[in-house]
Amino acid sequence: MRRSAVVSGFIVAGVASAEIALASGALAAGPDVRSRQEGAYTTFGGSRPSGTVPQGPRFNLPTGSTAQAGAIDLYIKKLIRHTPKGGEIDVSLFRLQTTGMAKELVAAKRRGAKVRVIVDSDSLNHRRETYDYLRANLGANTAKSSWIYVCPKGRGCIAPAVKGQWAKNHNKFYAFSHTYKSRNIVVQASGNATGGMYNQYNDAYTMVDAKLYAAYRKYFYDLLKHVPNANYYRTYNAGYRSVTFYPKASGADPIAEALDKVSCTGGTRIRMSSGLFTRTGITSRLTRLDDRGCDVKIVSGSYGEAAVESLSRPGPNGGVSVKYFTKAQTKRAHSKYLLIDGTYGGAKRKIVMTGSHSYTTDALRWNDEAIVTVSHGWTYDRYLENFNRVYAAAKGTLIIAPWAPKVPTVPNNATEPGAEPETKPGEPVAPEVEIPPTDTATTPPTENLPPASGE
């Protein structure tokens, strides 16, 4: 008898399937750095100088106080606020809606910073007054030092229009030439500058690296050129990190290729937190890895019908452990990260893949997106802590059972943004009082930067 899944609560199936992609070779082989604390050092081998921006991950807590829920938003605003005269800020966002973020960008421009913003065309359909405010204060002349640019309608800036699909600029990154006492900073976030920044579980990863900063800047100006390129896909390596840019309209899916490099020998752990998970090319590999003895756990805000069917197969080890946020839960996962701890490409590794790229086909094939891959033990451990928190918060569990109940879902080609809560009038205002650091880094955040933990 065919086995199916019983869902205790409600399963929302989501968006056209897609995946985070990892270029083959994106993980540069190198020394084991898992004992080194990335969050405590700007460069390894010495303590981080006072007043510099700490590298590594940050997480928010949407069920906590305004300060906890807005931990990432607060952090990015402070980086903007401390960009000096002559400094450069390059931002690419999907749906920039919050007035607080807009005001910080305008204030930076008035201080003499060069502020450049690229947004998707759909930003004009949601809280248009935010865009109008930025255009009035930054201008729209890209020959000048500050401006805002809108990607062409019906497509991304690079991703071309595709009949029947919603191609778009789905990026969420902030690049700073100089803020605090650091230079060449990039923050790659999973959350949009909307109510979702406070209302959903998100992460942001900070890099202080000249090579990666240059890679993001090149991508930013390629977005500005808005030349359609369905196979823009490319990867830039910098030590234990890499960044991959999209779209990738054809060819193999890089995240599937990455999972094919995983061996379950020795007890490999795989964890995924996603706002939306619909791609069966990934679910099939995760179930296969579970069959081979890997410990696989997933938590997501929503799943596609086909993904649920694939993940419901029990297998010799009982099947993948799957949790989801019920219909009654409004504070859902929105990150897009994959964690691997075990044998990868024949070597023991701890790997994090995170960014704007959802596990949907549109993210892989039809969107402007970015993914950061980090092979680093301390970073992995911080993400694992966050995963455990989000996994515990999800109240729904996919239960494997030998019967076929009717599971409520939404179509596989639903789109992620539809499920995202938008900022309501009376947007949360972050308190001016700083939050004391609660992370375990040996050098705590300085210059009144919020802590990385969101606690």
Above pLDDT 70, what percent of the chain?
A: 77
The mean pLDDT of the chain is 82
Locate the DSSP E strands across 345-395.
347-355, 367-368, 370-375
* Residue 41 pLDDT: 31
Above pLDDT 90, what percent of the chain?
A: 66
Q: Which two tokens stand for residue 61?
A: 């807590």
If you search the block for the tokens 């239960």, which residue do you land on?
Answer: 399
Question: At 20, is the pLDDT very low, low, confident or very high (cuts 50, 70, 90)?
Answer: very low
Residue with the bigger pLDDT between 455 and 65: it is 65
Range 418-445 average pLDDT: 37
4-17+252-419 and 38-245: same fold? yes
Count the neighbouring beta carbons within 10 Å of the beta carbon of residue 427.
Answer: 17
* Residue 25 pLDDT: 36
Contact (Cβ atoms closer than 8 angstroms) between residue 425 and residue 35: no
Element (H, E) at 272: strand 269-274
Rounded to the nearest 5 percent, the helix, strand and coil shares of the chain are 25, 25, 50
Q: 204: Cβ–Cβ under 8 A, 6 or more apart, which residues?
A: 57, 58, 59, 72, 75, 76, 187, 188, 189, 190, 191
Range 50-73 average pLDDT: 94
* Residue 416 pLDDT: 61
CATH topology of domain 4-17+252-419: Endonuclease; Chain A (3.30.870)
* Residue 427 pLDDT: 44
pLDDT tens digits for 441-454? 322 233 334 444 43
Question: At 196, is the pLDDT very low, low, confident or very high (cuts 50, 70, 90)?
Answer: confident
List the chain domain ranges: 4-17+252-419, 38-245
pLDDT tens digits for 197-219? 899 999 999 999 999 999 999 99
* Residue 236 pLDDT: 98
* Residue 132 pLDDT: 96
* Residue 420 pLDDT: 52
To the nearest 10°, report the CA torsion of 352, 353, 358, 359: -80
Range 232-253 average pLDDT: 95
* Residue 194 pLDDT: 86
Question: At 314, is the pLDDT very low, low, confident or very high (cuts 50, 70, 90)?
Answer: confident
State the number of CA atoms in the 13 A half-sphere of 152 facing the CB: 15
For the domain spanning 38-245, the CATH number is 3.30.870.10
Contact (Cβ atoms closer than 8 angstroms) between residue 34 and residue 376: yes
Question: At 47, is the pLDDT very low, low, confident or very high (cuts 50, 70, 90)?
Answer: low
* Residue 360 pLDDT: 85
